[in-house]
Amino acid sequence: MLNKQLLIVGAGPAGLAAAIEAKKNGVKDVLLVDLNMKAGGQLMKQIHKFFGSKEHRAGVRGIDTGAAMLKEAEELGVEVWLKSTCVGFFDDKVACIEKGMEDGSKKIIYLKAETIIIATGGQENVVRFKGWTTPGVMGAGAAQTMINVNKVQPGQNIVMLGTGNVGLIVSYQLMQAGCNVVCLVEAAPGIGGYGVHASKISRAGVPIYTKHTIKEVKGNGPNGRVSEVTIVEIDPKFNPIEGTEKTFAADTVTLAAGLKPVSELVKLQDIELVFNGPFGGWVPTHNEKMETTCPGIYVAGDTTGVEEANTALEEGKVAGVSAAEALGAISAAEADKQRAEIWARLDGLRMGPFGEKRAIAKKEVMAKFPGVRA
Ligand SMILES: Cc1cc2nc3c(=O)[nH]c(=O)nc-3n(C[C@H](O)[C@H](O)[C@H](O)COP(=O)(O)OP(=O)(O)OC[C@H]3O[C@@H](n4cnc5c(N)ncnc54)[C@H](O)[C@@H]3O)c2cc1C
């Protein structure tokens, strides 16, 4: 049986930041596990430059931030296991890790951890329409992984459903990768993401159909693949308006209809959850230390409510500091001082038209935990 001081599940920006912060604060034994072949979480496919302030890496590509954080974590002595999935918790906090071997075989490793940080990120929502299981219908994140990580085009002619930032950014990246984006389809009356991203798409002549949805996908392509996509206008109650259908030849449909937290591990551990719409669904209640209702288990990043990379990173730092405090590596006073600085930055990130909603959502989630920061 392996014994670890701190186990962190998920090597996205939240998990990496947590590992770095814990190490910097004197935790000797930090294990970071991720089911992917590369560390960085969503950052490993974000080839575009980030917005925001200099302290939050504005102008730096997500992919470079992920690589720099992994390097820092490894230099600090964080043990990183890739291709390793945390599949469950059992009595007395034993975590079970299944490690992918070079030959494709699997090995189960059981370990004990004094503290655990769950930073398993978010996953895409699915949208159902006639033909939604046809080969060639996929999440926008999957298409983004194909072009930016695996260097493979998901298809030639693509219809994107959703105009939030993910839909807009991935559409543009698909165009940069040589795919033809046939159109974007959006149920809401307006575009969901930043105007600057939408403008780049419109300038390239790609139509964006707001107040529309996908009615049907036909699969008469090779091996039953998508061949045709029919979209339809919808009324304010989201009912299709007959006679407004438009049909396009396409071989791929990408879905960017929002994200939800990955919460399987928190559910397994019986951590108290609360439903929060703006955060994408069921999220673990936690306090200002990012500690859950299960003492010694912390959460950070999209697992606690879908936001963006910088908030994930800062929450990871809070969790790393709190784990260091719990393990006796730093005093409560020192941990409070560091957390106050990080929370000030988090408050700054949760300002403006998009941020304010998240600030309110965060307050609601944390209000469920007794004794939290007001
Ligand atoms: C398609 C897409 C595009 C995005 N584009 C942007 C953008 O342009 N700008 C921006 O700021 N934000 C963007 N985001 C959001 C941003 O990337 C996330 O908010 C951020 O990455 C969250 O960080 P995280 O560490 O919480 O989770 P993630 O980055 O998702 O990392 C979670 C990690 O946990 C691992 N994991 C999950 N379960 C297990 C398990 N059981 N065992 C082991 N490992 C596990 C996953 O493999 C993953 O590597 C995007 C998100 C998506 C999905």
Please identify which residue in the block is written with the tokens 């920006």: 13
Q: Which residue puts its alpha carbon closest to atom 49 of ligand 1? A: 41
Any ligand 1 atom below 6 A from CB of 141: yes
Any ligand 1 atom below 6 A from CB of 21: no
Any ligand 1 atom below 6 A from CB of 201: no
Rounded Cα distance, 84 and 159, in Å? 34
pLDDT at 73: 97
Calculate the alpha carbon distances from 154 to 133, 141, 150, 168, 372 in Å. 16, 11, 10, 16, 45
Any ligand 1 atom below 6 A from CB of 263: no
Any ligand 1 atom below 6 A from CB of 283: no
pLDDT at 374: 44
The DSSP secondary-structure symbol of 12 reads S
Give the Å distance between the CA of 41 and the centre of ligand 1.
5
Maximum pairwise Cα distance, the chain: 68
pLDDT at 146: 95
Any ligand 1 atom below 6 A from CB of 69: no
How crowded is residue 298: how many other Cβ atoms within 10 Å of its Cβ? Answer: 31
Rounded Cα distance, 39 and 81, in Å? 9
Exposed / middle / buried, residue 336 (Cβ in 10 Å: 0-12, 13-18, 19+) = middle
Q: What is the pTM of this model?
A: 0.91
Q: Which residue puts its alpha carbon closest to atom 27 of ligand 1? A: 121
Pull the structure tokens for residue 363.
Answer: 């307050």
Tens digit of each residue's pLDDT, the chain (374 residues):
788 999 999 999 999 999 999 999 999 999 999 999 889 999 888 776 666 666 666 667 778 888 899 999 999 999 999 888 888 887 665 556 766 556 666 778 888 899 999 999 999 999 999 999 999 999 999 999 999 999 999 999 999 999 999 999 999 999 999 999 999 999 999 999 989 899 999 999 999 999 999 999 999 999 999 999 999 999 999 999 999 999 999 999 999 999 999 988 988 888 899 998 888 999 999 999 999 999 999 999 999 999 988 999 999 999 999 999 999 999 999 999 999 999 999 998 888 777 788 888 888 888 777 655 54
What backbone phi and psi angles, to 5 degrees, belong to 33? -120, 145
Q: Which residue puts its alpha carbon closest to atom 17 of ligand 1? A: 42
- Give the three-class secondary structure for 342: helix
Please identify which residue in the block is written with the tokens 């730093």: 330
Q: Which residue puts its alpha carbon closest to atom 37 of ligand 1? A: 120
Secondary element (H or E) of residue 354? helix 352-367
Any ligand 1 atom below 6 A from CB of 304: no
Angle, helices 309-326/13-24, rounded to nearest 10 degrees: 40
What domains appear along the chain, each with residue ranges and CATH number? 2-123+259-367 (3.50.50.60), 126-255 (3.50.50.60)
Residue of 33, 120, 265, 290 to mutate, ligand 1, most atoms within 8 A of C-beta: 120
Residue of 32, 42, 109, 311 to mutate, ligand 1, most atoms within 8 A of C-beta: 42
Any ligand 1 atom below 6 A from CB of 34: yes
